[in-house]
Amino acid sequence: MPLHFTTEQRLDDGVLERGFSLDGIPGILWTPAPSSAPAPLILLGHPPLGLPAMHPRLAARARLAAADGFASATIELPGSGERPRLDAVDQARSALRRALAAGEPVSDEIIDALVLPLVDKAVPEWRATLDALLTLPEITGPVGYSGGVISIGVRLAAVEPRVVAAVLYAGSYIPRAIVEEARTVGIPLHVLLQWDDEGNDRQAALELFDAFGSREKCLNANMGGHTGVPAHAGEAAGRFLARHMR
Amino acid sequence: MPLHFTTEQRLDDGVLERGFSLDGIPGILWTPAPSSAPAPLILLGHPPLGLPAMHPRLAARARLAAADGFASATIELPGSGERPRLDAVDQARSALRRALAAGEPVSDEIIDALVLPLVDKAVPEWRATLDALLTLPEITGPVGYSGGVISIGVRLAAVEPRVVAAVLYAGSYIPRAIVEEARTVGIPLHVLLQWDDEGNDRQAALELFDAFGSREKCLNANMGGHTGVPAHAGEAAGRFLARHMR
């Protein structure tokens, strides 16, 4: 499936930002200021809030990566932004809200219905995006993955051999099946956890970290609440990727 | 109490290593290659295995710190090396061994008896060492602390206002009283945990990390077993100290 560029913009630091469409899925590619060598690629994951809303934060991460010589790319998640809603996931989200409002425990059934359809649909899309991007002369391997819905990151790390290292952001609502898949992950991992994120299930995050089969895995836990990842933690994640992608 | 230098050696990278004695306690001071500016000081903690046995590892850490412009110092722990044994601690260590051999849980009484006398005696000695070192023209504040028996690090971070940041190595057998003291610690902390250290009580380490009152605290957990702290984790700890001591 070929990739079509839809927009093109040269940012003030020389980074080239191009919107693209792949089989109707919108995406963005950032490549470092022109040089002769093709750039290794980081896939930028994000929460299901829609690419337009996430754009400023994604562009900031891509520009930091470009300063290290890396290209970055992202695509819209299934059911987010301008893509068709996923009815089953929307129903599970309603069930989740009802359970939380009633002070009831969130059942495994709700978690599975909320997360697994998203993972099942998103991961093949990220892999197809990788197929298309790696045909571009300005992009090369190895490939890293960073951020986003952690269950998508786990599945991608488990099944996609071109991804050599991943930065994962700890999150709640992790299906048991994903914890089991984590045991099959072997690539180096750097897991960011906001220790005082009250909306996050810390114990679930620690159990998932423990489950990863990787011989090299690092848990980097910090304070600052859900969105308050300290600058030094972002820099450490960048150093991790650079170490494994060079 | 004045400090007396007992030995002096210029290492091949220009670092000056001097043995000293303070009120009968042996210690070592490493200062960076000569320059005009006095160097901020890192107190190097270590496990109670005796300074002679720990010397190579401590010297390696001191030389890394010197490359960043920091002086480092350490003293022998009470009951270790050539210092008089602490009978009560030795008895507690025997009780610990009996409990472990019998497969019994290690009681709070054993943990308190093993650790608290050491903390009570060591921390005033580290503070007196700080008094003496800070009178030297080649040494200045701020002061950092790194490594060693974690309960000593917690007490020092809680009571010594000249220590502005601490790197702590997660360890087992932490008295309840020390967990309570951790709640009063307010300085930035960087806690290293070897996730797959089978001799370590991971849950106790996580509880202690959670207890720290510091607004800035980072847990850096890695694989590699008890002594297999990866090089990048050591470097991250060094960056943490440099960030807070400059």
CB contact under 8 A, A221 and B240: no
Q: Best mutation site among B189, B218, B229, B240 for testing chain A: the one with the most A CBs within 10 Å?
A: B218
What is the rounded CA–CA span in Å between residue A81 and residue A26?
A: 9
Residue B74's pLDDT is what?
98
Measured between CB atoms, does B68 come within 8 Å of chain A? no
Residue A2's pLDDT is what?
84
Residue B193's pLDDT is what?
97
Residue A55's pLDDT is what?
96
Measured between CB atoms, does A230 come within 8 Å of chain B? yes
Q: State whether residue B7 is helix, strand or coil.
A: strand
CA atoms within 13 A on the CB side of A225: 2
Give bridge partners of residue B4 from the DSSP assignment: B21
Residue A208's pLDDT is what?
97
- Residues of chain A found within 8 Å of residue B219, distances taken between Cβ atoms: 193, 195, 219-222
CB contact under 8 A, A239 and B232: yes
The domains found in chain A, sorted by start residue, are 3-84+119-245 (3.40.50.1820)
Measured between CB atoms, does B180 come within 8 Å of chain A? no
The distance of B222 to chain A (nearest Cα, Å) reads 5
Hey, which residues 142-171 in chain B have their CB within 8 Å of chain A? none
Residue A143's pLDDT is what?
97
Amino acid at A31: T
- Residues of chain B found within 8 Å of residue A232, distances taken between Cβ atoms: 218, 239-240, 243
**Low-confidence spans in chain B with pLDDT less than 50:** none
Write out the DSSP string of A167-230.
Answer: EEE--S---HHHHHHHTT--S-EEEEEETT-TTS-HHHHHHHHHH---SSEEEEEE-S-TT---
- Cβ-Cβ contacts under 8 Å for A193 (sequence gap 6 or more): A170, A200, A202, A205, A206, A209, A219, A220, A221, A222, B219
CB contact under 8 A, A223 and B240: no
CB contact under 8 A, B219 and A223: no
Query: Mind listing the pLDDT tens digit for each residue in B17-51?
Result: 999 999 999 999 999 987 778 999 999 999 999 99
Tokens 């002061």 -> residue: B143
Measured between CB atoms, does A206 come within 8 Å of chain B? yes
- Residues of chain A found within 8 Å of residue B236, distances taken between Cβ atoms: 236
Tokens 């991460």 -> residue: A61
Picking from B195, B218, B230, the nearest residue to A222 by CB comes out as B218
- Cβ-Cβ contacts under 8 Å for A37 (sequence gap 6 or more): A69
- Residues of chain A found within 8 Å of residue B170, distances taken between Cβ atoms: none
Residue A33's pLDDT is what?
86
**Low-confidence spans in chain A with pLDDT less than 50:** none
Residue A27's pLDDT is what?
98
Picking from B220, B230, B243, the nearest residue to A220 by CB comes out as B220
Which element (helix H / strand E) includes B3? Answer: strand B3-10
Hey, which residues 94-113 in chain B have their CB within 8 Å of chain A? none
- Residue of A39, A102, A96 whose CA lies nearest to A73: A39
Picking from A220, A223, A243, the nearest residue to B215 by CB comes out as A223
DSSP designation for A69:
T
- Residues of chain B found within 8 Å of residue A216, distances taken between Cβ atoms: 222-223, 230
Q: Best mutation site among B190, B192, B195, B210 for testing chain A: the one with the most A CBs within 10 Å?
A: B195
Q: State whether residue B24 is helix, strand or coil.
A: coil
What is the rounded CA–CA span in Å between residue A94 and residue A195?
A: 27
Residue A227's pLDDT is what?
85
The number of C-beta contacts closer than 8 angstroms across A and B is 56
